[in-house]
Protein backbone atom coordinates (compact mmCIF):
# COMPACT_ATOMS: atom_id res chain seq x y z
CA UNK A 1 0.00 0.00 0.00
CA UNK A 2 1.28 3.44 -0.96
CA UNK A 3 1.18 6.18 1.69
CA UNK A 4 2.54 9.72 1.80
CA UNK A 5 4.09 11.13 4.98
CA UNK A 6 3.65 14.90 4.88
CA UNK A 7 4.72 17.96 6.83
CA UNK A 8 4.45 21.71 6.29
CA UNK A 9 5.89 24.96 7.61
CA UNK A 10 3.84 28.16 7.75
CA UNK A 11 3.93 31.83 8.68
CA UNK A 12 1.80 31.21 11.76
CA UNK A 13 -1.00 29.22 13.31
CA UNK A 14 -4.22 30.25 11.58
CA UNK A 15 -4.85 30.32 7.81
CA UNK A 16 -8.17 32.09 8.42
CA UNK A 17 -6.24 35.09 9.78
CA UNK A 18 -3.88 35.44 6.86
CA UNK A 19 -1.16 32.93 7.72
CA UNK A 20 0.25 31.11 4.70
CA UNK A 21 2.06 27.96 3.69
CA UNK A 22 5.83 28.33 3.13
CA UNK A 23 7.16 24.76 2.81
CA UNK A 24 5.86 21.29 1.97
CA UNK A 25 7.81 18.06 2.44
CA UNK A 26 6.54 14.59 1.49
CA UNK A 27 8.01 11.10 1.82
CA UNK A 28 6.59 8.16 -0.14
CA UNK A 29 6.34 4.85 1.70
CA UNK A 30 5.18 1.58 0.18
CA UNK A 31 4.16 -1.33 2.37
CA UNK A 32 5.52 0.68 5.32
CA UNK A 33 8.99 1.09 3.76
CA UNK A 34 10.37 4.41 2.41
CA UNK A 35 10.89 4.18 -1.34
CA UNK A 36 13.30 7.12 -1.64
CA UNK A 37 10.76 9.19 -3.61
CA UNK A 38 10.17 12.65 -2.12
CA UNK A 39 8.48 15.96 -2.86
CA UNK A 40 9.89 19.16 -1.36
CA UNK A 41 9.15 22.77 -2.20
CA UNK A 42 9.59 26.16 -0.57
CA UNK A 43 6.68 28.49 -1.32
CA UNK A 44 6.48 32.27 -1.55
CA UNK A 45 3.73 33.29 0.94
CA UNK A 46 3.44 36.80 -0.53
CA UNK A 47 3.62 38.35 2.93
CA UNK A 48 6.01 39.07 5.80
CA UNK A 49 7.44 36.47 8.17
CA UNK A 50 6.53 36.98 11.84
CA UNK A 51 9.48 36.69 14.22
CA UNK A 52 7.80 33.86 16.11
CA UNK A 53 7.51 31.72 12.97
CA UNK A 54 11.04 32.57 11.81
CA UNK A 55 12.36 31.36 15.19
CA UNK A 56 10.72 27.98 14.54
CA UNK A 57 11.85 27.23 10.98
CA UNK A 58 14.38 29.93 10.04
CA UNK A 59 12.74 30.74 6.69
CA UNK A 60 12.91 34.47 6.07
CA UNK A 61 10.61 36.53 3.87
CA UNK A 62 13.67 37.50 1.80
CA UNK A 63 14.61 33.86 1.19
CA UNK A 64 11.04 32.89 0.29
CA UNK A 65 10.48 35.89 -1.99
CA UNK A 66 12.36 34.12 -4.80
CA UNK A 67 10.44 30.84 -4.44
CA UNK A 68 7.44 29.82 -6.55
CA UNK A 69 3.87 30.58 -5.57
CA UNK A 70 1.64 27.74 -4.44
CA UNK A 71 -0.28 27.88 -7.72
CA UNK A 72 3.00 27.14 -9.55
CA UNK A 73 3.70 23.92 -7.63
CA UNK A 74 0.18 22.67 -6.92
CA UNK A 75 -0.10 20.36 -9.93
CA UNK A 76 3.21 18.68 -9.15
CA UNK A 77 2.20 18.34 -5.49
CA UNK A 78 -1.20 16.82 -6.27
CA UNK A 79 0.35 14.46 -8.81
CA UNK A 80 2.85 13.27 -6.21
CA UNK A 81 0.33 12.58 -3.45
CA UNK A 82 -2.27 11.22 -5.94
CA UNK A 83 -4.97 9.39 -3.98
CA UNK A 84 -2.70 7.94 -1.28
CA UNK A 85 -3.49 8.22 2.44
CA UNK A 86 -1.68 11.17 4.01
CA UNK A 87 0.23 10.47 7.23
CA UNK A 88 0.55 13.74 9.19
CA UNK A 89 1.39 14.66 12.78
CA UNK A 90 -1.45 16.86 14.05
CA UNK A 91 -3.13 16.50 10.68
CA UNK A 92 -5.83 19.12 11.21
CA UNK A 93 -3.16 21.84 11.34
CA UNK A 94 -1.31 20.95 8.14
CA UNK A 95 -4.39 20.10 6.11
CA UNK A 96 -6.08 23.37 7.10
CA UNK A 97 -3.20 25.29 5.50
CA UNK A 98 -3.06 23.10 2.39
CA UNK A 99 -6.81 23.30 1.90
CA UNK A 100 -6.78 27.07 2.44
CA UNK A 101 -4.21 27.37 -0.36
CA UNK A 102 -6.25 25.06 -2.61
CA UNK A 103 -9.43 26.98 -1.91
CA UNK A 104 -7.67 30.27 -2.62
CA UNK A 105 -6.93 29.15 -6.18
CA UNK A 106 -10.32 27.43 -6.63
CA UNK A 107 -9.01 23.88 -6.53
CA UNK A 108 -10.72 20.94 -4.85
CA UNK A 109 -9.72 20.57 -1.20
CA UNK A 110 -8.33 17.34 0.26
CA UNK A 111 -10.83 15.17 2.11
CA UNK A 112 -10.18 14.52 5.78
CA UNK A 113 -11.07 10.88 5.13
CA UNK A 114 -7.60 10.46 3.64
CA UNK A 115 -5.76 11.56 6.77
CA UNK A 116 -3.83 9.34 9.17
CA UNK A 117 -3.10 11.50 12.21
CA UNK A 118 -0.03 10.18 14.03
CA UNK A 119 -0.69 12.52 16.96
CA UNK A 120 -4.01 10.78 17.62
CA UNK A 121 -2.36 7.38 17.18
CA UNK A 122 0.37 8.35 19.65
CA UNK A 123 -2.13 9.65 22.22
CA UNK A 124 -4.02 6.36 22.10
CA UNK A 125 -0.84 4.32 22.40
CA UNK A 126 0.92 6.60 24.93
CA UNK A 127 -1.82 8.35 26.93
CA UNK A 128 -1.00 10.96 29.55
CA UNK A 129 2.43 11.91 28.17
CA UNK A 130 3.74 14.42 25.64
CA UNK A 131 3.61 13.11 22.09
CA UNK A 132 5.42 15.82 20.14
CA UNK A 133 7.57 14.60 17.26
CA UNK A 134 10.75 15.08 19.31
CA UNK A 135 9.26 13.09 22.18
CA UNK A 136 8.32 10.22 19.88
CA UNK A 137 11.78 10.21 18.29
CA UNK A 138 13.28 9.88 21.77
CA UNK A 139 10.78 7.19 22.76
CA UNK A 140 11.58 5.10 19.68
CA UNK A 141 15.34 5.82 19.65
CA UNK A 142 15.19 7.68 16.34
CA UNK A 143 18.09 10.08 15.79
CA UNK A 144 16.68 13.61 15.46
CA UNK A 145 19.94 15.44 16.18
CA UNK A 146 19.71 17.22 12.80
CA UNK A 147 16.45 18.85 13.86
CA UNK A 148 17.88 22.10 15.22
CA UNK A 149 14.95 23.89 13.53
CA UNK A 150 11.72 22.64 12.02
CA UNK A 151 11.93 21.71 8.34
CA UNK A 152 9.16 20.08 6.35
CA UNK A 153 11.21 17.42 4.55
CA UNK A 154 13.35 16.48 7.55
CA UNK A 155 10.28 16.34 9.80
CA UNK A 156 8.49 14.14 7.24
CA UNK A 157 11.50 11.79 7.19
CA UNK A 158 11.49 11.57 10.98
CA UNK A 159 7.73 11.10 11.07
CA UNK A 160 7.97 8.23 8.58
CA UNK A 161 10.32 6.47 11.01
CA UNK A 162 8.03 7.24 13.95
CA UNK A 163 4.95 6.05 12.06
CA UNK A 164 6.54 2.68 11.26
CA UNK A 165 7.30 2.19 14.97
CA UNK A 166 3.98 3.60 16.12
CA UNK A 167 1.92 1.06 14.20
CA UNK A 168 4.29 -1.82 15.03
CA UNK A 169 5.40 -2.34 11.44
CA UNK A 170 9.10 -2.31 12.32
CA UNK A 171 8.61 -5.04 14.91
CA UNK A 172 6.80 -7.12 12.30
CA UNK A 173 9.71 -6.60 9.92
CA UNK A 174 12.17 -7.68 12.62
CA UNK A 175 10.14 -10.82 13.34
CA UNK A 176 10.02 -11.63 9.64
CA UNK A 177 13.77 -11.05 9.33
CA UNK A 178 14.41 -13.32 12.32
CA UNK A 179 12.24 -16.05 10.85
CA UNK A 180 14.03 -15.69 7.52
CA UNK A 181 17.43 -16.07 9.21
CA UNK A 182 16.25 -19.15 11.12
CA UNK A 183 14.82 -20.79 8.02
CA UNK A 184 18.06 -20.01 6.15
CA UNK A 185 20.09 -21.63 8.92
CA UNK A 186 18.09 -24.83 8.51
CA UNK A 187 19.13 -25.10 4.86
CA UNK A 188 22.56 -26.05 3.61
CA UNK A 189 24.64 -23.87 1.33
CA UNK A 190 24.57 -20.12 0.84
CA UNK A 191 21.39 -18.25 -0.04
CA UNK A 192 21.62 -15.02 -2.05
CA UNK A 193 20.61 -11.93 -0.12
CA UNK A 194 17.26 -10.41 -0.97
CA UNK A 195 17.63 -7.26 -3.06
CA UNK A 196 15.18 -4.42 -3.72
CA UNK A 197 13.41 -4.84 -7.04
CA UNK A 198 14.01 -1.17 -7.78
CA UNK A 199 17.10 0.58 -6.32
CA UNK A 200 16.41 3.65 -4.20
CA UNK A 201 16.60 6.86 -6.19
CA UNK A 202 18.80 9.73 -4.95
CA UNK A 203 16.82 11.95 -2.58
CA UNK A 204 18.71 15.19 -3.16
CA UNK A 205 18.70 17.00 -6.50
CA UNK A 206 21.03 19.74 -7.70
CA UNK A 207 18.15 22.20 -7.25
CA UNK A 208 17.76 21.07 -3.63
CA UNK A 209 21.46 21.66 -3.02
CA UNK A 210 21.31 25.16 -4.52
CA UNK A 211 18.20 26.00 -2.48
CA UNK A 212 19.93 24.80 0.66
CA UNK A 213 23.06 26.85 -0.04
CA UNK A 214 20.88 29.92 -0.59
CA UNK A 215 19.14 29.30 2.71
CA UNK A 216 22.43 28.79 4.58
CA UNK A 217 23.65 32.12 3.21
CA UNK A 218 20.89 33.84 5.21
CA UNK A 219 21.97 32.36 8.55
CA UNK A 220 24.87 34.66 9.43
CA UNK A 221 28.65 34.53 9.30
CA UNK A 222 29.38 31.07 10.70
CA UNK A 223 26.40 28.74 10.31
CA UNK A 224 27.13 25.15 11.29
CA UNK A 225 25.90 24.00 7.87
CA UNK A 226 29.15 25.30 6.33
CA UNK A 227 30.91 22.35 7.99
CA UNK A 228 28.91 20.00 5.77
CA UNK A 229 28.49 21.88 2.48
CA UNK A 230 31.84 20.78 1.11
CA UNK A 231 30.73 17.16 1.35
CA UNK A 232 27.24 17.75 -0.08
126 is catalytic: no
What confidence score (pLDDT) does residue 90 get? 97
Rounded average pLDDT over 135-147: 94
Of 22-26, 174-178, 181-185, 225-229, where does mean pLDDT reach its minimum? 174-178
Rounded average pLDDT over 33-43: 97
Kindly indicate the confidence band of residue 184, based on its pLDDT and cuts at 50, 70 and 90: low
What confidence score (pLDDT) does residue 226 get? 72
What confidence score (pLDDT) does residue 191 get? 46
Q: Assess whether pLDDT exceeds 60 at residue 182.
A: no
DSSP state, 221?
S
What are the tens digits of pLDDT across the range 112-139? 999 999 999 999 999 999 999 999 999 9
Angle at 164 between CA 159 and CA 168, to 5 degrees: 140
Q: Assess whether pLDDT exceeds 80 at residue 56.
A: yes
Rounded average pLDDT over 152-161: 96
* Cβ(154)–Cβ(147) below 8 Å: yes
Q: Assess whether pLDDT exceeds 70 at residue 231.
A: no
Rounded average pLDDT over 90-101: 98
Rounded average pLDDT over 47-60: 97
Of 43-47, 176-180, 224-228, where does mean pLDDT reach its minimum? 176-180
* Burial annotation 32-45 (CB, 10 A radius, 16+ → b, else e): bebeebbbbbbbbb
Report pTM: 0.74
Q: Assess whether pLDDT exceeds 60 at residue 176.
A: no
- Catalytic, out of 40, 89, 150, 212: 150
Q: Mind listing the domains of the chain with CATH numbers?
A: 2-182+201-227 (3.30.420.10)
Burial of 219 (0-12, 13-18, 19+ CB in 10 A): middle
First-residue to last-residue Cα distance in the chain: 33
Kindly indicate the confidence band of residue 23, based on its pLDDT and cuts at 50, 70 and 90: very high
Q: Assess whether pLDDT exceeds 90 at residue 108.
A: yes
Kindly indicate the confidence band of residue 86, based on its pLDDT and cuts at 50, 70 and 90: very high
Amino acid sequence: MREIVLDTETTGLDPLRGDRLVEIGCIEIYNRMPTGQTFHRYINPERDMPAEAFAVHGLSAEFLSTKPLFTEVVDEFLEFIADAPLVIHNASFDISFINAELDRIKRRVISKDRLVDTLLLARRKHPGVSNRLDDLCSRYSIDNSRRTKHGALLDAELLAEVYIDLIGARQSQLILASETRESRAERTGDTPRRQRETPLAPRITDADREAHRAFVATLGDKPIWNDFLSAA
